[in-house]
Structure 1
């Protein structure tokens, strides 16, 4: 079955001759960047090769969380939470956002201590988080649950939103502020003059501009290849189930060892494995092997390696192409991978064991999503020094939905030369070429 139904956005017909900024990619990061820039009065064109929000921005779990994030992301996520609180009013549309809390459960003393240690990272932020157990934990879980827990990390300021609604709503708000929204309009490449960006070539013609923001998700590394810009990035498949509406399930989102679940606005639930993903072996696996090796050694237990058709599909992709001919982005408009039935079924079975109330629930849909990951599982939100006027916002490693509105604001800071809302060092592209060895912090 194809991916989730996304609120449709009709693209503009007229290609502008010139704008200030072209944003490539119509997911939540690209749409948020376009809105921020348009609100500042800049002329913006948002170019999407397929439909707005049709890839990972609509396929994620819908969690809006600061809890259990890599500490390097916390300052930016702290900026995102108030943006989410005002997002519906800002864009004039319902995005399904609610602060219902998130529970990261602890099965034993070891995991309880790990979560308790992590909680200290939040001490400098205006966010409430606490360890819960006993009767207090019981009050946050459905009656009759069979979880055997030491406790949980509970963050009531965390919440959820509806991924199929958010990127479209933000893109429409950007258009209302003057941005041009171009769907089924792949950008083939960047043009340069006098040593800096001067425009882009799209499949529908050229657009002159002084800045380009690449928010292309899993396609970003390939886009950078003709520019000789090194962006280490791989793709990981996560599989999701959407259930029919159910009474009596949990209100807070829950992460446990063998499942993750959150309530949907329609009364159903989004269910996935909390730790199982599939990593296909592809040519990029070898190109970036040295930089990803520390992450693989650390996270191998959560990855199922697979050699299959994707190796051959990606092996024939050109790394360079002429800008007056069709690019790889025009031959595959949407990444719509087949989900893992085995992994998603196992997650649902474990959910039913923990919460018998789900025993009669029906599966409404399954989908797969390609998560774009970096060697340290931290995004790139950065200027590209080698190509003045070119900026990248990608590699959010499964954490992009919640942090998206703040990532868009940070990128707008960089493009306009404003003081950044957070320190950008952790997000710099240069960390992959300056001799350092970026890697994930254990446990995130």
Structure 2
């Protein structure tokens, strides 16, 4: 069974830190793990520091989708490469990875939705992606016992899925096999720098000399960067997810409409979640960055449930420290694993919507429920860039719920960025300065 990892997960990577290396990666999610993987393949001495457990936060809490469909068009070429890499990973690691290429379906309840899907399809076709519009009858032919009032939908048959809680630790082991050093329960506290460049990092276990650092800390990235004098308008939203007991298969692929989403699990159940809604805790960064988020709020305001304050020690909680020294315990040690409680009322509605759409399955019993904090940016695309004004610092964060599927391809791109190689993709859309250089906001698709 594939459920999220936590602080209770036994340590698997507990090594003594080296005195020096070439690159330090902050964060043991899929982006950090695959960056370390490719850096090691390029001959770099790389150390990945994870404050808690590898993949214990959003990388084991996501839906498990590996989708090209609905991507921002700047992400799409990297995602298409990533899918190709996932296929090679499946060949290397075998069935335990949970990789299955069964497609993604976005059904629509309105003509306006259908038109939006078709417009995206036409643009994506220019990148060589084959997606198709399906009629209601065609969807009903694929999904047994369908009762949802869907008019039609968008389908990409080449899209896939995997089991996050098993897949990412396997990828971590693969990175180690290639020469990367991964260290769990080791928070990276501060950067060491001189003359405008990085000379090392301070961790809770001591200093490591290095000249390059990749910040891939997910929901914690902005807090770390702020302590280093770098303001990044990143926030985090809570996404609730559940796994059902074993049920008959009605569709082998992944489905999401505006109310609920589901995918077939390797254990015979379904992962179910809200199709579009999430919760947001209001904290200091929410006020600080509000002007930059107005475009996406105007677009998706109804999908957000606002909550008064984050629980103690969350990245944007009111009492979370914003400043600390290298020899002080950091906020990253105060909360090893960000493990928020799911919104059970939301999941109850998801169960009801799932049952209404597929009445032959009945109201599903839940085997587990959890939540994760998704790091997001004002335009819903990541920052993948060298930090301005500090030589040797690379920012790789704000994947906005897109990280699991794109992780392998993005890791390859980041490794090339670190080593000065040509990434092979246009990264202009992901530049860090887009929020400060007067560029007009260009929000990615809400698909």
TM-based fold match above 0.5: yes
Query: Following TM superposition, by how much is the alpha carbon of 1:439 offset from its aligned partner in structure 2, in angstroms?
Result: 4.0
SS at match of 2:165: helix
What are the superposed Cα offsets for residues 55-87 of structure 1, whole Å, 9 maximum, x if unpaired? 000001111101112222212212211011111
Alignment of 1:276-425 (within 5 A): 276-310=277-311, 314-359=317-362, 361-425=364-428
**What residue in structure 2 maps to residue 82 of structure 1?**
84
Match of 2:48 in 1: 46
Residue number among 422, 425, 429 corresponding to 1:426 in the alignment: 429
Name the CA distance, whole Å, in 1 between partners of 2:88 and 2:339: 31
2:260 maps to which residue? 259
Say if 1:240 and 1:366, in contact at 8 Å, map to a contact too. Answer: yes
Give the drift of 1:329.
Answer: 0.4
Structure 2 vs 1, CA of residues 105 and 2 (structure 1 numbering), >3 Å: closer, same or farther?
closer
Change in 2 beyond 3 A, CA 1:257/1:72: same
SS at match of 2:389: coil
Structure 1 residues 118 and 12, CA gap change in structure 2 (3 angstroms): same
Aligned to 1:30: 32
Name the Cα RMSD after superposition: 1.9
SS at match of 2:362: helix
Gaps of 5+ in 1: none
Match of 2:237 in 1: 236
The one-character-per-residue Cα deviations of 1:342-393 (angstroms, maximum 9, x if unpaired) are: 1111011100000013315320000011011101010011111211000011
Report the TM-score, using the length of structure 2 for normalisation: 0.95
Change beyond 3 A, Cα 1:8–1:382: farther
Aligned counterpart in structure 1 of residue 115 of structure 2, from 113, 119, 139: 113
Could you report, residue by residue, the CA deviation over 1:227-285 in whole angstroms, capped at 9, with x for unpaired residues?
Answer: 11111111101100111111133211111221100011111110001011111111111
Measure the CA separation in 1 of the matches of 2:269 and 2:10: 21
Deviation at 1:171, TM superposition (A): 1.1
Give, in whole Å, the separation in 2 of the partners of 1:124 and 1:266: 37
- Matched-pair contact (CA < 8 Å) for 2:79–2:405: yes
TM-score (norm 1): 0.96
Aligned residues: 443
- Gaps in structure 2 of 5+ consecutive residues: none
Q: Deviations over 1:19-41 (max 9, x none)?
A: 11000000000000000000111
SS for the counterpart of 1:94 is helix
Partner of 2:287, secondary structure, is helix
Using the TM superposition, give the Cα deviation of residue 93 of structure 1 relative to its aligned residue in structure 2, in angstroms. 7.6
C-alpha distance 7-90 of structure 1, shift in aligned 2 (>3 A):
farther
Q: Cα–Cα, structure 1 residues 134 and 366, in superposed 2: closer, same or farther, change >3 Å?
A: closer
1:85 alignment partner, SS class: helix
* Greater CA drift, 3-12 or 146-155: 3-12
Would the alpha carbon gap of residues 108 and 92 (structure 1) be closer, same or farther in structure 2, given more than 3 Å must change? Answer: closer
Task: Verify the 8 A CA contact 1:377 1:440 in the aligned structure 2.
Answer: yes
Native 8 Å contact 1:282 1:310 kept in 2: no
| Distance (whole Å) between structure 2 residues aligned to residue 57 and residue 85 of structure 1 | 19
User: Contact between 1:20 and 1:210, CA under 8 Å: does it hold in 2?
Assistant: yes
1:312/1:172 CA distance change after superposition, 3 Å: closer
Contact 1:280 1:311 in 2 (8 A): no
